[in-house]
Amino acid sequence: MAEKILIIDDDLDTLRLVGLMLQRQGYEISVAANGELGLGKAFEERPDLILLDVMMPDLDGYEVARRLRKNPATSNTPILMFTAKTQLDDKVTGFEVGADDYLTKPTHPTELQAHVKALLARSGSKEALPLTKSREQNGYIIGILSARGGLGVSMLAANIAAGLISRSQAETILVELTPGQGMLALELGLTYQKGLNELLEGNPVEITREQVQVSLTSHTSGLKLLLASENPRDVTLITKAANYEVLLNRLATLAQFIVLDLGIGLPTFVQKLLPMCNERIVVLEGSPGSIHQTRKLIDEIAQLGLDRKSINAVLNNRVRSEAQMPWMQVQEQLGHSITSTLTPAPELFNQATRLHTPAVLCQPTNVTSQQLLKIADSILEHIKA
């Protein structure tokens, strides 16, 4: 198979002439007329070598090289900087940002061919080939949310994820998609990583499978986690709906089950992700206010074009109280089926927090743990059906 060379240059004459020259040498050529397009093609096509111009508008070659080197998908791809800039400092900067070689324009075709051949020979065959559709997984996605905070969305997400991995031994990723409101790192005894922030802050084209993979944190339960920031200022990242969509598509290739903590309400990113989920779970408690808000939430989810029958309502009775309504009464007032009910178990969850593990793994025979495991079992049954 011919080696692929990606040429990134805003000069159309260069794209045409250099591309034709290298094509005649037997290489497969791909071109991009600016830095943003070049990054997208580099991450999608995984070329064997990148021929990169420096002087481009908006995103210059130095910044493109920095981003290519930062991303695991292209961190080892040879970069040949090809530019009219001849100053020594320009060349030094090129090498500092990750270029493997440097040529100045104009250059003789024979010299360019020699540099390309040498770079490809040094790099050898790539260790990781581009993913093909046949190799990609198609993970089963469960999205969990509530109409307001404090109803146990994170708890439910963690325990469903732990239940799935306990019951099936399948790869499971627990994803906390609420920057600025992260709780799982503290509860599971993990160090907060900046992976989610970096994925949301960057350009969507830079969210590669490899980049997502290195952003995951391992837990002793066997779960892989993508953790949200606990810094309140980071809540502004929820506006990055396009990043969220690409992120979820990448996550779906990395595990059989992906459990999403979607947080509260229906911000734009949640509206984008809910149709991508195989199952949707809404959490509520048995109080008039919670029931009223949850009914409104279910109505709005249905307005996204989703079947109401695809929305599962979980009644989470967090505290022992006479004020809590029986599930049948909640169901009647909600106007929607209650698929699962959780009984209060503050001692169980306190112990789970102390041990930094999900409750279903801490005391699997506990009544509430069994109720949580039953939700995981129902998901597994849905897949078999």
Which pLDDT score is estimated for 94?
A: 84
pTM for this model (two decimals): 0.84
Say if residue 260's pLDDT is above 80: yes
According to CATH, the topology of domain 4-123 is: Rossmann fold (3.40.50)
Provide the pLDDT for residue 134.
36
Q: Do domains 4-123 and 140-384 have the same CATH topology?
A: yes
Does the structure show a pLDDT above 50 at 364? yes
The answer to whether 35 and 61 have CB atoms below 8 angstroms apart is yes
Rounded to whole angstroms, the Cα distance separating 230 from 316 reads 24
* Parallel, antiparallel or unpaired: strands 101-104 and 79-83: parallel
Kindly report, residue by residue over 68-80, the tens digit of the pLDDT. 999 988 999 999 9
- Tell me, what's the pLDDT at 126? 46
Report yes or no: 156 and 144 within 8 Å, Cβ to Cβ.
yes
Strands 79-83 and 257-264: unpaired
129-172 pLDDT, tens digit each: 344 333 456 899 999 999 999 999 999 999 999 999 999 999 99
Provide the phi-psi class of 265: left if phi over 0, else alpha when psi is between -120 and 50, else beta: left
pLDDT value at 1 more than 80: no
Condensed to tens digits (0 to 9), the pLDDT of residues 82-139 reads 877 666 677 788 888 999 998 887 778 889 999 999 999 987 744 443 443 334 568 9
Determine the pLDDT at residue 137. 60
Main-chain dihedrals φ then ψ at residue 354, nearest 5 degrees? -60, -35
The architecture (CATH level 2) of 140-384 comes to 3-Layer(aba) Sandwich (3.40)
> How do the domains of the chain map onto residue ranges?
4-123, 140-384
The pLDDT assigned to 385 comes to: 72
Lowest-pLDDT range, 43-52, 319-328, 352-361, 368-377?
319-328
pLDDT at residue number 131: 42
Identify the pLDDT of residue 129: 39
295 has pLDDT over 90: yes
Closest CA relative to residue 293, chosen from 103, 151, 196, 155: 151
Q: What is the pLDDT of residue 127?
A: 46
Average pLDDT, the chain: 91
Predicted confidence at residue 84, as pLDDT, reads 73
Name the 3-class secondary structure at 349: helix
